[in-house]
C-alpha cells in the first residue's frame, strides 16, 4: 500500500516545490529591485550636485559679482558761485584780460557796470559765466590780476531738486499722453471740451517743469563769478613801487624838463617888460640925454699972493 501511494504523491510534491521556487524567485527579484533603487538614491544623494543643479548657484555667483563690482556713483548737481574784489593799476587793461581768460575757458561775460568815484578812479563790476570744469582755474587767474581785497565762494547741492523735477516731468508727460488718448476716443462734445481744458492745464504745468529743469541745468553746468575791479590810488601805487636807478633818472629828467618849462614861462612873462625897459633906455641914451645941457668944468682955484711955485724952497 505504501509503495503504490508514493508515486501518486510525486506530481503533487513537484507542483508544491515549483510553486515555492517561483514564490522565492519573485521575492528575491523584488528585493533586489528595491535595493538597487535604494542604492541609486543614496548614490544620488551622496554625489555632489552639479553646478547647474545646486540651489542658488547662479544667484550666489551673481550676488558675488555684484558684491565685488564697485558701486556706481550717483551724479551730483552743484551750483557754484563766487565773488572777487581786485585792485588793479589799469582797470580797462584788467577788464580785457578778464574777458580773454573767460572766453578761452569756454565761458562768456554777462552783465557789466562801469562807474567813477569822487576821486575820478574807475570801477567795473562784471558777471562771468564759466564751465564748472574750468571754474577753479579761472578763479585763480582772476585773483592774480592785482591786489586781492575780497574773495567769497558758495556751493549749493541741488541734486535732490534735479531728480524731483525729472521725475515730475516724466509723470506729467505720461499724464498728457493719457489725456490725448482719451480725447482720441471721446465722442461727445462735452467730453472733448473737458479733456481739452485738462490737457491745456497739464501742458502748462509740463512747460513750467521743463523751464525749471533748463534753469537748473544752466546753473549747475556754468559757475557764476562776480568780479569787481577798482583802480589803485596814486599814493598806494607810489608806495608799492620800489624806486631804482632808471626811476631816479626819469624823475630827474622830468624835474629838469619841468624847470625849463617854468623858466620859459617866467621868461615869457618878463619878456614884454624887458622889451619896454630896453626901449626906454635906448630912447634915453639916443634922444633925451644928448639934449640935456652939459655942465661946465669948475675953474681952478687962484694961487695966493706971495706964494709962488718954489717960493717955499
**306 conformational bin, left if phi > 0, alpha if psi -120 to 50, beta if neither:** left
Same domain? For 107 and 151 the reply is yes
Domain assignment present for 154: yes
Could you tell me the residue range of the domain that residue 123 belongs to? 78-158+223-231
Q: State the distance between the two ends of the chain, measured CA to CA, in whole angstroms.
A: 252
CB contact at 8 A, 85 and 228: yes
Would the pLDDT of 142 be above 50?
Answer: yes
Taking only Cα atoms into account, the Rg of the chain, rounded to an integer number of angstroms, comes to: 61
| In a shared domain, residues 100 and 196 | no
Q: Tens digit of pLDDT for each residue in 180-225?
A: 998 888 888 888 888 889 889 999 999 999 999 999 999 999 999 9
Which tens digit of pLDDT belongs to each residue from 231-252? Answer: 877 555 445 555 667 777 888 8
Q: Which residue has the higher pLDDT, 288 or 128?
A: 128
CATH code of residue 152: 3.30.70
Q: Are residues 113 and 227 in the same domain?
A: yes
Please tell me whether residues 150 and 227 are part of one structural domain.
yes
pLDDT tens digit string along 84-124?
999 998 888 888 999 999 999 999 988 888 888 777 788 88
Backbone angles phi, psi at 47, to 5 degrees: -65, 145
238 assigned to some structural domain:
no
The predicted model scores a pTM of: 0.49
What's the structural domain count of the chain?
A: 2
Please give the Cα distance from 186 to 137 (Å, whole number): 60
Q: Mark whether 99 and 154 lie in a shared domain.
A: yes
182/126 same-domain check: no
3-state secondary structure 116-141: ECCCCCEEEEEEEEEEHHHHHHHHHH
Amino acid at each position: 500500500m505504501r509503495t503504490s501511494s508514493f508515486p501518486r504523491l510525486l506530481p503533487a510534491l513537484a507542483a508544491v516545490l515549483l510553486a515555492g521556487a517561483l514564490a522565492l524567485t519573485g521575492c528575491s527579484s523584488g528585493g533586489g529591485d528595491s535595493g538597487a533603487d535604494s542604492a541609486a538614491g543614496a548614490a544620488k544623494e551622496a554625489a555632489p550636485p552639479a553646478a547647474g543643479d545646486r540651489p542658488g548657484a547662479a544667484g550666489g555667483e551673481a550676488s558675488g559679482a555684484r558684491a565685488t563690482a564697485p558701486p556706481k556713483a550717483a551724479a551730483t548737481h552743484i551750483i557754484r558761485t563766487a565773488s572777487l574784489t581786485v585792485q588793479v593799476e589799469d582797470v580797462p587793461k584788467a577788464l580785457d584780460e578778464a574777458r580773454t581768460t573767460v572766453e578761452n575757458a569756454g565761458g562768456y561775460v554777462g552783465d557789466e557796470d562801469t562807474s567813477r568815484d569822487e576821486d575820478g578812479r574807475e570801477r567795473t563790476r562784471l558777471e562771468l559765466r564759466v564751465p564748472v570744469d574750468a571754474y577753479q582755474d579761472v578763479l585763480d587767474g582772476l585773483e592774480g590780476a592785482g591786489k586781492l581785497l575780497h574773495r567769497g565762494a558758495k556751493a549749493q547741492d541741488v541734486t535732490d531738486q534735479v531728480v524731483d523735477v525729472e521725475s515730475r516731468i516724466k509723470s506729467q508727460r505720461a499724464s498728457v499722453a493719457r489725456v490725448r488718448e482719451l480725447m482720441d476716443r471721446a465722442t461727445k462734445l462735452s467730453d472733448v471740451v473737458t479733456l481739452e481744458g485738462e490737457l491745456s492745464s497739464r501742458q502748462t504745468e509740463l512747460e513750467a517743469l521743463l523751464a525749471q529743469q533748463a534753469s537748473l541745468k544752466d546753473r549747475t553746468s556754468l559757475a557764476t563769478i562776480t568780479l569787481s575791479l577798482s583802480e589803485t590810488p596814486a599814493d598806494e601805487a607810489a608806495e608799492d613801487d620800489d624806486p631804482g636807478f632808471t626811476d631816479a633818472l626819469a624823475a630827474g629828467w622830468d624835474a629838469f624838463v619841468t624847470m625849463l618849462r617854468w623858466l620859459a614861462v617866467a621868461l615869457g612873462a618878463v619878456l614884454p617888460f624887458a622889451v619896454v625897459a630896453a626901449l626906454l633906455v635906448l630912447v634915453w641914451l639916443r634922444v633925451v640925454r644928448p639934449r640935456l645941457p652939459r655942465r661946465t668944468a669948475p675953474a681952478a682955484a687962484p694961487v695966493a699972493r706971495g706964494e709962488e711955485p718954489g717960493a717955499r724952497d
